[in-house]
């Protein structure tokens, strides 16, 4: 069996669902992912197998490319389409390319200060943040320093924006959606997310879910 398996994760499946599929084929192997993907998102998921799980931290340093669609004028508690709406902008706004590109510039660079979502896997006193948030306990989040190499504007309207993000480890695209909307003086959440690349891995060299029985046998 390969010691690194790049998988194209579909929507409506957790990263651990993919791991469980592999372990159902061979329960004796050790499997770990190199950066989770939310259930609503699709794209590249790198899985380390066996002794290669020791190298997960190395693979997590690889650059990542995301394609994101942002819904404007509303914010959800999860900062994506799965959450409940907690904020609405009822005022008329006019989104311009100039304003978006200025806001994008402010969010791009090395050591960008980013506040993670309440619903995140970051830990506080041994529990993941989303475990608190699910019980309506909202912990004050510490900002993280992250590298966002570029954000490209693909399309926009007064109600949505599509962007391409090239970034390093630990970046929350949901936080970019929130922060970009704030800079445009409105609210926003992710309604679609595709991780198209991790390092050299993309859809052309990833296995589909239905390929895993052959790959892991």
Q: pLDDT digits over 116-175, tens only?
A: 886 666 666 566 665 655 666 566 778 889 999 999 999 999 999 999 999 999 999 999
Dihedral pair phi/psi, residue 159, rounded to 5°: -120, -5
Instruction: Give 176's pLDDT tier (boundaries 50, 70, 90).
Output: very high
103 φψ region: left (φ > 0), alpha (ψ -120 to 50), beta (else): alpha
Q: In which residue ranges of the chain is CATH 3.30.2350.10 found?
A: 4-61+199-216, 64-197
Q: pLDDT digits over 185-211, tens only?
A: 999 999 999 999 999 999 999 999 999
Q: Helices in 68-199 by DSSP H: which ranges? A: 97-106, 129-133, 173-183
| Catalytic residue status for 77 | no
List, in sequence order, every residue forming a beta bridge with 133; answer none if it has no partner: none
Check: CB of residue 45 under 8 Å from CB of residue 20: no
Greater pLDDT, 80 or 141: 80
Compute the distance between CA of residue 72 and CA of residue 69 in angstroms, rounded to an integer: 10
Q: What pLDDT does 216 receive?
A: 83
Closest by CA position to 67, among listed 176, 177, 193: 193
pTM confidence score: 0.92
Greater pLDDT, 134 or 58: 58
Which residue in 3, 17, 38, 106 is the catalytic one? Answer: 38
Q: What pLDDT does 123 receive?
A: 65
- 4-61+199-216 maps to which CATH number? 3.30.2350.10
Q: Which two tokens stand for residue 70?
A: 């942002």
| Topology classification of domain 64-197 | Pseudouridine synthase (3.30.2350)
Check: CB of residue 215 under 8 Å from CB of residue 1: yes
Given CA atoms 138, 140, 144, 148 in this order, what sign does their dihedral have? positive
Using only C-alpha atoms, the chain has a radius of gyration, in whole angstroms, of 18
Residue 37 predicted with pLDDT over 80: yes
Closest by CA position to 60, among listed 147, 178, 180: 147
Residue 26 predicted with pLDDT over 90: no
Instruction: Give 108's pLDDT tier (boundaries 50, 70, 90).
Output: very high
Which run of H or E residues covers position 59? Answer: helix 56-59
Check: CB of residue 177 under 8 Å from CB of residue 115: no
Q: What pLDDT does 40 receive?
A: 95
Q: Which two tokens stand for residue 15?
A: 């990263």
Closest by CA position to 135, among listed 178, 77, 174, 81: 77
The DSSP symbol for 182 reads H
The whole-chain average pLDDT of the chain stands at 91
Greater pLDDT, 26 or 46: 46
Q: Which two tokens stand for residue 203?
A: 């859809």
């Amino acid at each position: 069996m390969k010691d690194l398996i790049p998988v194209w994760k579909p929507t409506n499946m957790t990263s651990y669902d993919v791991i469980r599929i592999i372990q159902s084929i061979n329960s004796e192997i050790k499997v770990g992912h190199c950066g989770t993907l939310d259930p609503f998102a699709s794209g590249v998921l790198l899985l380390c197998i066996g002794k290669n799980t020791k190298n997960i931290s190395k693979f997590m340093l690889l650059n990542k490319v995301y394609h994101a669609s942002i819904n404007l004028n509303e914010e959800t508690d999860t900062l994506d389409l799965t959450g409940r709406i907690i904020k609405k902008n009822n005022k008329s706004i006019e989104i311009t390319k100039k304003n978006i590109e200025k806001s994008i510039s402010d969010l791009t660079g090395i050591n960008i200060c980013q506040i993670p979502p309440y619903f995140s896997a970051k830990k506080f006193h041994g529990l993941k943040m989303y475990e608190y948030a699910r019980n309506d306990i909202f912990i004050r989040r510490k900002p993280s320093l992250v590298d966002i190499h570029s954000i490209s504007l693909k399309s926009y309207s007064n109600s949505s924006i599509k962007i391409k993000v090239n970034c390093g480890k630990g970046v929350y695209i949901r936080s970019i959606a929130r922060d970009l909307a704030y800079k445009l003086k409105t609210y926003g959440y992710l309604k679609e997310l595709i991780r198209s690349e991790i390092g050299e891995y993309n859809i052309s060299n990833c296995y589909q879910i239905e390929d895993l029985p052959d790959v892991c046998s």
